[in-house]
Amino acid sequence: MAPWDRYLESLGLLNLTWGNLVLILVGLGATAIAVWRSWQPVELLPLGIGLVLANLPGTGLDTLFPGTGPGAAQAAGLLGDASWLGVALWTVLPALLFLGLGAATDLTPLIANPRLLALGAVAILVVLGTFWGALATGLYSVPQAAAVGVAGAAGGPLAVFTAAGLSPDRLELIAFVGAGAYLGAGAVAQAQGHLARRLTSRRERTIIMRRSREVSRPERLLVAGAVLVLIVLLLPAAAPLAGMFLVGNLLRESGIAPRLAAAAGNELLSLATLALALAIGVQLSADRLFQPSSAAVLGLGAGAALAGAAAGVLAAKTMNLFLADKVNPLVGAAALASLPLAAQAADAEGRRADPSNQLLPYALACNAAALLVAISVAAVFISVSP
């Protein structure tokens, strides 16, 4: 073949399909929203850029390892390496992200108000409901449906970790599960306010929550360490994420390395989130996305997250029937493992009803409870999967 013919054959413009073009426009739209609307920029910007890069024909950026022999790493694309090593093979990125989450999470409101654990348990219902919904479609095996189920209640890192543990050879499924989890978190962040206003009265939304007691530093260290170690003892499959969350939280609460804790909870968390979202986005090419199973993952993730937020609000309203010290039902809307997006959305809606209301610590506590519950459920799925 002549050099000119080889050039024309490799020209990306001539290999562009309508599917590629549609997804490039979607990726550019997501990037524009992140830049000009500042909506979830840390997740949406790299996800949008990854979507654009995945649909530019001929770049080879998303090429996976072709084997284990000499030159295998060099034959893979840069972002293919990131997807394979950081997400599917070693799940490094979710683990680093949980280290950052642990360093950024204050468990004090949860320890002082253990009743919030009951709201976090709503995540179990969301996971199981999405799992059965995925099985009912007939598009997934049981392990794959379990991964989709976790995406309904979890944020991207946990959903990706679970999918990698259940279907390590299906990188496209891992990517779509992660994208479905991010889409669900975004749907909750945007629709949570409208949902909460329809399920609650203004009086309920203005309930002021107060810390029931002070929690000392030794108690924070002891309780957090004991709970996470107990989770790992009962569910060893949870060790990679629960262990890293514990390390990050101990860095925060011990106070012995404040600069390290601050870096883990800020820079490391942001960089790991960016890398994970980019690794997910670059696998969302047109030939993979326009499949029934792929579209179903995205729809189930978004629908389950919205259903989970509604279930959390209703659970809080039910609890208030038996409590003298009422819980603001908006906190229940944060009973999802998408830390901290669901909590921030609940706090914003609370401030809309009463600008002096400080719901964020309690919403984050509910968020953290849901995260621990979702980790446990994911570990059960991984443990029993053949």
Angle at 155 between CA 100 and CA 370, to 5 degrees: 90
pLDDT at 248: 92
Tell me which DSSP letter residue 209 carries: P
CA–CA distances in Å: residue 281 to residues 178, 193, 290: 9, 27, 14
The full DSSP string for 16-28 is --HHHHHHHHHHH
In this structure, are residues 158 and 371 in contact, taking their beta carbons and an 8 Å threshold? yes
Which of the 8 DSSP states describes residue 358?
-
Number of neighbours of residue 236 by Cβ within 10 angstroms: 13
Q: What is the pLDDT of residue 100?
A: 93
Q: What is the pLDDT of residues 131-161, one digit of tens each?
A: 999 899 888 888 888 888 888 776 778 888 8
- The segments of the chain whose pLDDT lies below 50 read 68-71
With contact defined as beta carbons under 8 Å apart, do 113 and 274 qualify? no
- pLDDT tens digits, 95-139: 999 999 999 988 888 888 888 888 888 888 888 898 999 899 888
Domain boundaries, the chain: 11-56, 77-384
What local confidence, expressed as pLDDT, does residue 244 receive?
A: 92
> Residue 377 and residue 161: Cα distance in Å, rounded?
12
Q: At what angle do helices 239-254 and 360-384 cross, to 10 degrees?
A: 150
Nearest alpha-carbon partner for 319 in 304, 332, 302, 336 = 332
Q: Give the number of residues written for the chain.
A: 386
To the nearest 5 percent, what fractions of the chain are helix, strand and coil?
Answer: 75, 0, 25
CB-CB contact of 112 with 215 (8 Å): yes
> Model pTM?
0.86
In the prediction, which pLDDT does 69 show? Answer: 45
